Amino acid sequence: KHSATRFADLGALPKRMLAPIEGYEKTPLVTLEEAVRPLVTIVPKVERNVFIVKQNCQEPEDGLTTDESAAIMLYTYESMP
The domain locations on the chain are 29-75
Q: What is the pLDDT of residue 50?
A: 96
Residue 42: band (very low, low, confident or very high) from pLDDT cuts 50, 70, 90: very high
CA dist 31 → 4, 20, 50, 63, 65 (Å): 27, 24, 11, 17, 11
Contact predicate 46/36, CB 8 Å: yes
Residue 46: band (very low, low, confident or very high) from pLDDT cuts 50, 70, 90: very high
Residue percentage of the chain with pLDDT more than 90: 51
